[in-house]
Amino acid sequence: MLKLLYFAWVRERTGTASEELELPDNVSTVADLITVLRAKGDGYADAFESDDLVRVAVNQNHVGFDHKVQAGDEVAFFPPVTGG
CATH number belonging to the domain at 2-78, selected among 3.10.20.30, 3.90.470.20, 3.30.200.20, 3.50.50.60: 3.10.20.30
- For position 82, what pLDDT does the model report? 52
pLDDT for the residue numbered 81: 73
pLDDT one-digit tens code per residue, 1-55: 999 999 999 999 999 999 999 999 999 999 999 999 999 999 999 999 998 999 9
Strands across the sheet with 55-58, in order?
A: 18-21, 2-6, 74-78, 55-58, 61-63
Q: What pLDDT shows up at residue 35?
A: 97
The whole-model pTM stands at 0.93
Report the relative pairing of strands 18-21 and 55-58 from DSSP bridges: unpaired
pLDDT of 50-84, one tens digit each?
Answer: 989 999 999 999 999 999 999 999 999 999 875 55
